[in-house]
C-alpha cells in the first residue's frame, strides 16, 4: 500500500510448490502468485518484482503454471522479475526461477536438482507374509500398473516403458524451460547492458538431478550473480 513513486513488489515462493488449496482460503499457491503479479502489473508505480524463492520444489503442473505466469507477466507488463534464492531453490524451485530476467543466489544456496522423479512403495511382500491377498477388478490391463499390491515380477517391460516415457517427456519440458528462460534472460540483459551469465555449453550434463551450490550454479550459468536479498 506504499504511496512511493517507485516500488518493488516482493513475491515469496516458500515451501513445497503445490496446486492444492491453502487451508481456510480456497486459494492455492498458484492462485495467490497470479493475483500478486496481476496487482503488480496494474500498479504503475511498481517497477519490478522480486521473487523470493525458498523451496525444494514440488508438483510439476504447479511449477509449470507459475513459470508460465511469470513469463506472461514479464511479456505483458514489460517489468522484470528478479529472483532472490534463499536456502533452497531446487527442482521446482529452480523451474519457477528459470523464466525470470535475473537470478541471484547465495554461495551456499542449494539449487539445481533439474530432473523429474516418480516413486512409490510396493508392499506386496508384506501382504504375503500376513496372508493378505488383493482382489483386483479392472477395465483395462494397465489400470493397476502403479499399484503397490502388484507382485514386483509381474510389472511388464511395457508398463515400465510407459512410466519412463512420462518421466522423459516431463524432463524434456523442464530442460526447455531452463534453456528458453536463460537464453531469453541473457538476451534481455544484454539489451539493458546488465551483467548476466550464459549457460555453459555442457549445462545438460549437470541436469541429471544433482544438487548444486550457488557457486557451482554461477559457474555453469544457471544463476547470474552471487549475493543476498539486498543484492537482488
DSSP assignment of the chain equals ----SSEEEEEEEESSB--SBPTTTS-BHHHHHHHHHHHHHH-TTEEEEEEEEEE--B-HHHHHHHHHHHHHHHHHH---EEEEEEEEEETHHHHTTTTSSEEEE-TT-EEE--S--------HHHHHHTT-------SSTTTTTT-TTS-GGG--HHHHHHHHHHHHHHHHHHHHHHHHHHHHHHHHHHHTT----PPPTTGGGG-SS-EEEHHHHHHHTSSSEE--TTT-
Which of 55, 77, 84, 91 is the catalytic position? Answer: 91
Residue 91 annotated to the active site: yes
Of the residues 141, 143, 160, 187, only one is catalytic, namely 143
143 has catalytic annotation: yes
Active-site residue set: 91, 143
Amino acid at each position: 500500500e506504499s504511496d512511493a513513486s517507485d516500488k518493488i513488489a516482493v513475491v515469496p515462493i516458500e515451501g513445497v510448490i503445490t496446486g492444492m488449496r491453502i487451508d481456510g482460503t480456497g486459494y492455492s499457491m498458484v492462485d495467490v502468485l497470479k493475483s500478486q503479479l496481476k496487482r503488480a502489473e496494474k500498479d504503475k508505480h511498481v517497477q519490478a518484482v522480486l521473487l523470493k524463492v525458498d523451496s525444494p520444489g514440488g508438483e510439476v503442473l504447479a511449477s509449470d503454471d507459475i513459470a508460465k505466469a511469470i513469463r506472461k507477466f514479464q511479456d505483458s507488463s514489460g517489468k522484470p522479475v528478479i529472483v532472490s534464492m534463499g536456502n533452497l531453490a531446487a527442482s521446482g524451485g529452480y523451474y519457477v526461477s528459470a523464466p525470470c530476467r535475473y537470478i541471484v543466489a547465495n554461495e551456499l544456496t542449494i539449487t539445481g536438482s533439474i530432473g523429474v522423479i516418480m516413486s512409490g512403495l510396493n508392499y506386496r511382500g508384506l501382504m504375503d507374509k500376513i496372508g493378505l491377498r488383493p482382489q483386483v477388478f479392472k477395465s483395462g490391463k494397465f489400470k493397476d500398473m502403479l499399484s503397490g499390491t502388484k507382485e514386483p515380477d509381474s510389472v511388464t517391460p511395457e508398463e515400465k516403458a510407459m512410466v519412463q516415457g512420462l518421466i522423459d517427456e516431463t524432463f524434456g519440458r523442464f530442460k526447455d524451460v531452463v534453456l528458453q528462460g536463460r537464453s531469453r534472460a541473457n538476451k534481455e540483459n544484454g539489451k539493458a547492458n546488465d551483467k548476466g551469465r550464459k549457460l555453459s555449453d555442457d549445462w545438460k550434463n549437470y541436469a541429471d538431478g544433482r544438487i548444486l551450490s550457488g557457486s557451482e550454479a554461477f559457474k555453469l550459468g544457471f544463476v547470474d550473480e552471487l549475493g543476498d536479498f539486498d543484492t537482488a
